[in-house]
Amino acid sequence: MAKSTILIFALLFYGIKIYPNNFVLSGFAFDKNSREPLIGATITDKNSDKVCISNSMGYFSLQLDSGLHEISIGFIGYKTHVEELGISKDFELNVYLETLPFQLDTVSIDSKKNSESKTVQSGEINLPIHQIQSIPSILGENDPLKIAQMLPGIQSGGEATPGFFVRGSAADQNLVLIDDAPIYNPFHLFGIFSVINADALKTFEITKGGYSAEYGGRLASIVNINLKEGNKNKTKGYLNLGLASSKVLLELPITKNKSSIIISGRSSYAHLFAKPFLPKDQYGTYYFYDFSTKYTAELSAKTKLYFSGMFSADRFNLVDEYLPHSLYYARVKWNNTALSLRINHVISKKLFWKSAIIFSNYNLLSKAQQKNLDATYYLQYQSNIREIALKNDFTYYLNAYQQIQFGVTITRKNFVPDAVTSKNEDASLLNRTIQEYNAIESAIYFEDEFKLGKKLIGRIGGRVNVYSYKNKTTINPEPRISLAYQLAKSWAIKGTYTQMHQYLHLISTKGVGLPTDLWVPATNKVPYKMAKQYTVAVVKDFAKSFSISAEGYYKEIFNDISLKEGSSFMQIKSIDVVDKNDLTWEDNITTGTSWNYGSEVFIHKKKGRLQGWISYTLAWSISKFKELNFGNSFLNRQDRRHSLSIMMIYRINEKWSISADWVYMTGNHITLANSIYNNIDILPENSYLESHSNFVNYEFTGINNFKMPPYHRFDFGLSYIKQRKDLITEFDLSVYNVYNRQNPYFYYLVSSPDKSESKVINSMMKQVSVLPIIPSINCKISF
Amino acid sequence: MRIFCCFFGLTLFYSSCIKEVHNNFDFEEKIVVYSYPNTSDSIIKLILLNNQPVSASLENNNEKLPYLKNATVTISDGNKSTLLTFYEGNSESFYYTDSNSLKFEEGKNYYLNINSPDGRYARSSLKIPHSSNILSASVDTSSVAKITLYDNMMSISREVTLSVNLNAANAYHFVYAKVYGKTIWYDNKDTSVNSTVKDFYFNPNSSLPLQINGNQTLSTKNEIGVATNFKTIDFFSVEIDSVEFFLITVEENYYKFLKSKQIQSSNTNDPFAEPALLFSNIENGLGVFTGLTTRSKKIILKE
């Protein structure tokens, strides 16, 4: 730690001494039509090859010597702006870039942000929004989080499983931020759609390693989503009609070129269509809606105010009388709320300040009831997590080669987790008082991004977390190091080392098949998690605007958590239980260590008629818990050895485009009984142990002993755009899972009596697949 | 549009049907072993069964258990090997040997080899634990009190205490007692008195890791030489003639087996429970082969 501190200061002084720039070129990059700031635009001085990237407000600051400079400002999908400037004093330049109506190979687009070899960042994927919108959709919904699951190192949990798994880590280890506010469950039911409306997005970035010190609190990934600000010139919008859902978006300028609001909403109605087609013994309803808004006001030339809000809700009911003696009933509802009030201010030409007040709330209520031969079992999960945070971030542009970021954040989290199951209904148990947990997470961070000479770029920094729960406070430093060395011919080699801590956990019951997210804090009984990750990558940019990267990673997670074997939230095991409230979720948790490692290859083409990517991941995810699997290591559920995805979009002309993707993943792992056998106790003779002889023993060869069949599917999409004056009509035809692959969602064991209905039990294993071939047609009318 | 909706709905809800899968995907027939050699037994019994696919039916009737017959079963102590004889009875079948053929002694290792007629095999070994001593045993007759059990039933309670010296390292213990006496049932109309022998199980003072049917029965691993008191309350006997105490020392393997079985069996029918693995010390097989030693002490009472 001491060595890294010395190194940071050495680099700081190095920057100050070697690059005494005289004048500052600063300003904003905007979209010419909508006045949206462009995040990640590249500002290049062609004479000196000095480069900087615009930040989340579109602001840039570049230090130049006096004299004549040829400044180029480029952004993917926009015409590059080139301007000659004679610099003899500090200079302010606001640039308004024009969008390219139809991207062709011949158009030169300069963007360092999209040149993998020129950035220090490793393990980050920045998906262009136009690609997200062109990929074949399911039921007409282009979903960035679903598309992310086709990227290297990012995998879905399986058929219709919400959440995503980054580099073998569990779903709770991903931090999804919408305009700085975290979303705890970013998916609607079955993970078919996320709560994010692709049309309301400005940027979508996933970081899997080499995290910036600005972010913390999760071990696996940071998904950073920025919503559009809305058109500040004129009213724009669209209406999108689909088979399962429809959505509407409206961009309204409030004060021309100064303030705007964008509102988008979506609601499903598939259950209305589905009702007549459901089997007689199965009836249910499901619907969701989500809503997002963003208000932006330019308070002054240097100050901007943003208010962002996102709300989503899901409701699900299912009754399945799958056997004459059995019944399954489930009712689930959950809501997400994310609000952020942010202010960005240019303090000086070199110093930029962002401040935010953030509120996030997630509520889940999941009830299920399963009637078996012996009894009726009830399950009730409630999970509420509420977070209020205050965040202050500063960026100091020290010189053209060095930029320093630092900040402080404080978050108060309130958890109300409760899970209970009971054999035959016990109203007093299901309606008992639920305990609340409060925790405070604070952090300060510092980070120096620099360029040493012409070849080496780096980012060195650290974050110090302070976590308080009850009377206990822990302090955990997290060093973050990212280095990149540029080789000849657009090759670069990169390496990162990061440490992360996570002070909250998601407990999910494996066998239920229902959303049973139980967000809980790290407590005195259940420790926080910590991960160390090392990555090495080789990247190459090609002239034809595509890049290839190969990256290896090794991640070790300490204090990973799991439910104990046989644990149940069944609190009534016998009538002798003294105090039902004595049992808490903490008693069901055990901790261990996990190791995730693998390599990823990503070929990405971002521009031209043909766009898309090929992604391949070879990965291992292994855990070892003292109290699981008799202390032996085992493969994690999300251990998928091979993942391959191919995604292509081809723009035939200005009106027509086609797209297709194919996804293949090795099946994930679940725990299933391999066999059954009678139980016989023969000692002590005549003793009580004989009473156990009637039990059936289940043989499990190990935790996660069963590998599901591979997951694969092929999707196809066709898009037609017709423009008449200001009215654009877009028709999308898409077919999801073209060859109707029955990918397994989950397996479950059901018991039924034999013909004589004696005590002899027959067991059946059932596989559930929920997403077959789904053709859809979509019509979008924009103005 | 209507046709398309029908097409869409039908596709969505019929082609995604629940598919029945018989979970025999990697079923491997294995030999299931149950044997608990005890130094005080005159005959060592060993039961061999076959496991079944998950989709199979299991009979609770002893006569219909899937016994593995005609296997070659040997137990050796490293020097001497004994072939076990197969006995097929009407109600149960097992392999056996008498203690003259092979003496089970404390602290010694024994090796089990099984070869089935169809070419399968299983191996295991055990080490008979050193026994622990019963220091004292008592029944506190002064604590006798008439109590109400249920609305219309009365009984007598008294405290029964067993004090033992747990001197076996790395071992676990059972304690239980047989109470010889008379049971009386009171209700509003009748009183019936019967001579009975009943088993009672003790609650060690600390909270215990294992419960079977609500009775705490098994101690944790104890330190050598630490005296431990086990107490229970006899609710049912109105008169006690004698109490026989048993202290059974078991191997860690047996503890693991029972503990895992308790976890699994307590949640077998709970569809919302996590799966639980069942311990076995049988290589290439299932079940348990474990050794025990028993100490007993009988107290004659004159109430």
Domain annotation for chain A: domains and CATH numbers: 2-114 (2.60.40.1120), 124-668+708-782 (2.40.170.20)
Q: Indicate if B190 and B232 belong to the same structural domain.
A: yes
Q: For residue A496, which amino acid is it?
A: T
Question: Looking at the complex, does the CB of residue B150 fall below 8 Å from at least one CB of chain A?
Answer: no
Q: Indicate if B245 and B138 belong to the same structural domain.
A: yes
Measured CA to CA, the distance from residue A731 to residue A719 in angstroms comes to 6
Is residue B218 very low, low, confident or very high in pLDDT (cuts 50, 70, 90)?
very low
Q: Which of B178, B277, B290 to mutate against chain A (most A CBs within 10 Å)?
A: B277
Q: What is the mean pLDDT of residues A696-720?
A: 88
Is residue A689 very low, low, confident or very high in pLDDT (cuts 50, 70, 90)?
very low
Beta bridge partners of A643: A617, A665
Q: Where are the beta strands (DSSP E) in A301-325?
A: 303-323
Question: Looking at the complex, does the CB of residue A278 fall below 8 Å from at least one CB of chain B?
Answer: yes
Comparing CA positions, the residue from A459, A533, A444, A550 lying closest to residue A221 is A533
Q: What is the mean pLDDT of residues B106-126?
A: 94
E strand or H helix at A131: helix A129-134
Query: Considering only alpha carbons, which residue of chain B is nearest residue A282?
Result: B13
Query: Considering only alpha carbons, which residue of chain A is nearest residue B249?
Result: A684
| Contacts A773 to B, Cβ<8 Å | 11, 15
Looking at residue A756, its pLDDT comes to 45
Q: For residue A37, which amino acid is it?
A: P
Measured CA to CA, the distance from residue A400 to residue A52 in angstroms comes to 7
ipTM of the predicted structure?
0.79
Of A239-243, A359-363, A771-775, where does the model show the most confidence? A359-363
Looking at residue A512, its pLDDT comes to 45
Q: Indicate if B244 and B258 belong to the same structural domain.
A: no
pLDDT in tens, A89-130: 888 888 888 877 654 433 333 344 456 666 767 767 777 777
Residue A109: C-alpha distances to residues A63, A100, A470, A488 (Å): 23, 10, 54, 21
* Least confident interval from A298-307, A326-335, A336-345: A326-335
| Contacts A775 to B, Cβ<8 Å | 7-8, 11
Assigned token pair, B76: 């050796």
Q: Indicate if B64 and B167 belong to the same structural domain.
A: no
Looking at residue B185, its pLDDT comes to 58
In a domain, B144, yes or no: yes
In a domain, B89, yes or no: yes
In a domain, B17, yes or no: no
Q: Indicate if B84 and B139 belong to the same structural domain.
A: no
| Contacts A706 to B, Cβ<8 Å | 25-26
Looking at residue A579, its pLDDT comes to 41
| Contacts B201 to A, Cβ<8 Å | 688
CB contact under 8 A, B270 and A377: yes
**Interface list for B 213-272 with A (CB within 8 A):** 213-215, 217, 246, 248, 256, 260-261, 263-272
In a domain, B227, yes or no: yes
* Least confident interval from A114-123, A166-175, A198-207, B267-276: A114-123
Q: Indicate if B242 and B258 belong to the same structural domain.
A: no
DSSP codes of every residue in B80-103: -EEEPEEEE-SS-EEEEEETTTS-
CB contact under 8 A, A698 and B278: yes
In a domain, B5, yes or no: no
Looking at residue B186, its pLDDT comes to 55
- Residue located via tokens 């219709």: A160
**Interface list for A 27-66 with B (CB within 8 A):** none
**Minimal C-alpha gap between B78 and chain A (Å):** 25
pLDDT in tens, B82-103: 999 999 888 788 999 988 888 8
CB contact under 8 A, A754 and B12: no
Q: Indicate if B265 and B119 belong to the same structural domain.
A: yes
How many CA atoms within 13 Å lie on the side-chain side of A601? 8
Measured CA to CA, the distance from residue A165 to residue B20 in angstroms comes to 28
| Contacts B10 to A, Cβ<8 Å | 277
Measured CA to CA, the distance from residue B288 to residue B284 in angstroms comes to 12
Assigned token pair, B120: 């399968």
Measured CA to CA, the distance from residue B55 to residue A749 in angstroms comes to 9
Q: What is the dihedral of CA B232, B236, B237, B242, to 10 degrees?
A: -40
A561 contacts A595 by C-beta, under 8 angstroms: no
- Most distant CA atoms of chain A, gap in Å: 102
E strand or H helix at B257: helix B252-266
Q: Which of B54, B211, B249, B294 to mutate against chain A (most A CBs within 10 Å)?
A: B54
- Is residue B210 scored above 70 in pLDDT? no
Note if the bond before A182 is cis, omega within 30 degrees.
no
Residues 6+ positions from B207 with CB-CB distance below 8 Å: none
Q: Indicate if B148 and B208 belong to the same structural domain.
A: yes
| Contacts A381 to B, Cβ<8 Å | none
List b or e across A444-460, with b for residues whose CB sees 16 or more CB atoms inside 10 angstroms.
Answer: bbbbbbbbbeeeebbbb
Beta bridge partners of B287: B33
Query: Considering only alpha carbons, which residue of chain B is nearest residue A680?
Result: B34
| Contacts A693 to B, Cβ<8 Å | 60
The alpha-helical segments, DSSP class H, found in A261-322 are: 270-274
Q: Indicate if B149 and B167 belong to the same structural domain.
A: yes
Assigned token pair, B8: 């869409």
Apex A656 CA angle, A654 and A658, nearest 5: 130
Measured CA to CA, the distance from residue B39 to residue B173 in angstroms comes to 15
Measured CA to CA, the distance from residue A492 to residue A316 in angstroms comes to 49
In a domain, B23, yes or no: no
- Is residue A177 scored above 80 in pLDDT? yes
Taking only Cα atoms into account, the Rg of chain B, rounded to an integer number of angstroms, comes to 25
E strand or H helix at B195: strand B191-201
CB contact under 8 A, A243 and B8: yes
Number of domains into which chain B is organized: 2
Report the 10 Å Cβ neighbour count for A251.
24
Instruction: Identify which of B21, B246, B260 has the shortest CB distance to residue A747.
Output: B21
- Is residue A554 scored above 90 in pLDDT? yes
Comparing CA positions, the residue from A377, A335, A380, A386 lying closest to residue A359 is A386
In a domain, B4, yes or no: no
Q: Where are the beta strands (DSSP E) in A400-502?
A: 402-423, 437-452, 456-469, 472-486, 491-502
Q: Indicate if B184 and B226 belong to the same structural domain.
A: yes
DSSP A587: G
Q: For residue A715, which amino acid is it?
A: D
Q: Indicate if B138 and B222 belong to the same structural domain.
A: yes
Q: For residue B208, which amino acid is it?
A: L
Of A42-51, A549-558, A765-774, B254-263, where does the model show the most confidence? A549-558
- Is residue B188 scored above 60 in pLDDT? no
Q: Indicate if B111 and B209 belong to the same structural domain.
A: no
Pairing of strands A91-92, A23-31: parallel
Apex A491 CA angle, A486 and A496, nearest 5: 60
- Is residue A536 scored above 70 in pLDDT? yes
**Interface list for A 625-654 with B (CB within 8 A):** 629-630
Q: What is the mean pLDDT of residues A140-153?
A: 83
Provide φ and ψ at A466, rounded to 5°.
-125, 120
Q: How many CB pairs under 8 A join A and B?
A: 251
DSSP A33: T
**Interface list for B 14-53 with A (CB within 8 A):** 14-23, 25-28, 30, 32, 34-36, 38, 45, 47, 49-53
Looking at residue A288, its pLDDT comes to 87
Measured CA to CA, the distance from residue A240 to residue A581 in angstroms comes to 50
DSSP A189: G
Looking at residue B110, which CATH number applies to its domain?
2.60.40
Apex A377 CA angle, A373 and A381, nearest 5: 160
DSSP codes of every residue in A680-746: ----STTSGGGGGGGPEEEE-SSTT-EEPPPEEEEEEEEEEEEEETTEEEEEEEEEESTT------E
Measured CA to CA, the distance from residue A115 to residue A74 in angstroms comes to 12
In a domain, B3, yes or no: no
A380 contacts A405 by C-beta, under 8 angstroms: no
Pairing of strands A504-507, A491-502: unpaired
Residue B215: C-alpha distances to residues A588, A692, B160, B218, B229 (Å): 21, 13, 15, 9, 16
Question: Looking at the complex, does the CB of residue B12 fall below 8 Å from at least one CB of chain A?
Answer: yes
A307 contacts A340 by C-beta, under 8 angstroms: yes
Query: Considering only alpha carbons, which residue of chain B is nearest residue A273?
Result: B9
Instruction: Identify which of B214, B276, B286 has the shortest CB distance to residue A565.
Output: B276
Domain that holds residue B159: 133-249+295-300
**Interface list for A 175-194 with B (CB within 8 A):** none
pLDDT in tens, A33-85: 878 888 888 888 887 778 888 887 888 888 888 888 888 888 877 888 888 88
A338 contacts A183 by C-beta, under 8 angstroms: yes
Three-class SS of residue A582?
helix
Question: Looking at the complex, does the CB of residue A423 fall below 8 Å from at least one CB of chain B?
Answer: yes
- Is residue A279 scored above 60 in pLDDT? no
Q: For residue A259, which amino acid is it?
A: S
